[in-house]
Amino acid sequence: MKILFNADDFGLTKGVTDGIMKAHLDGIVGATTLMMNGYATTYAIQKAKERRTLKVGIHLVLTWGQSLRNDVPDLVTPDGTFKYNNTYRMMEPPNLAQVEKEWSAQIEAFLATGLPLHHIDSHHHVHGWEPLQSVIIKLAKHYRVPVRYVDHLKSYPDLLLTDTLYLDFYDDGVSDQIFEDLKQLDVQSVEVMTHPAYIDHDLREVSSYLDKREEELAILCRLEKPEWMEVF
């Protein structure tokens, strides 16, 4: 089974970024996803360039922080902050043309760093919101890059990064027994979503998922790759 341990929120804060780098250099994390509007985006880009073994995708954002464009009024509040949040499924679907503009700008900003774009995923899994299906398919095809698995894209296997996404290494599911759980999956490839970090002031200001991130980091640094696992 091919397994990719992928760390979300690269560039959100310095502590998150340093935690992800630690989980890669001393642990089993092989990929991460960069937020282009994070507090530490520039720092994260620098770190990724120093260690090219870390695969970097883009963590598309629609539910946190500032927009990169100034011509997407239906997506933002008057100060340019996205009006959507992690309860977006209870909100009115967004203007698709403006989402495409904003996400294209985020991808273009990523490409301008010179880093190879490994894949597309999103903050709060917003690319899995069914009204945005056409946008994410269009972007994946245009930039010729795979997308993190979400249920509404399972009919497009050629666009997907893996056969499935393992979401249970999170909160109460964070455990050293993860390989035992993964081995039970009837798939050829799986992405494991992770959130390793060192907790810093900025993270405490923007996230409710805190101490478990450091527990994730400790586990990801002591896991030993089983013989049956393939890395990709």
Segment 68-111, tens digit of pLDDT: 999 999 999 999 999 999 999 999 999 999 999 999 999 999 99
Q: How many domains does the chain have?
A: 1
In the prediction, which pLDDT does 231 show?
81
Torsion over CA: 119, 123, 125, 126 (sign): negative
CATH number at residue 109: 3.20.20.370
- Angle in degrees, CA 23, 24, 28, rounded to 5: 80
In the prediction, which pLDDT does 56 show?
98
Domain that holds residue 14: 2-231
The runs of H, that is alpha helices, within the chain are 14-25, 41-50, 96-111, 133-143, 178-182, 201-206, 211-222
From CA 208, how far away is CA 213, in angstroms rounded?
11
User: How would residue 232 be classed by pLDDT, with cut points 50, 70 and 90?
Assistant: confident
Segment 167-221, tens digit of pLDDT: 999 999 999 999 999 999 999 999 999 999 999 999 999 999 999 999 999 999 9
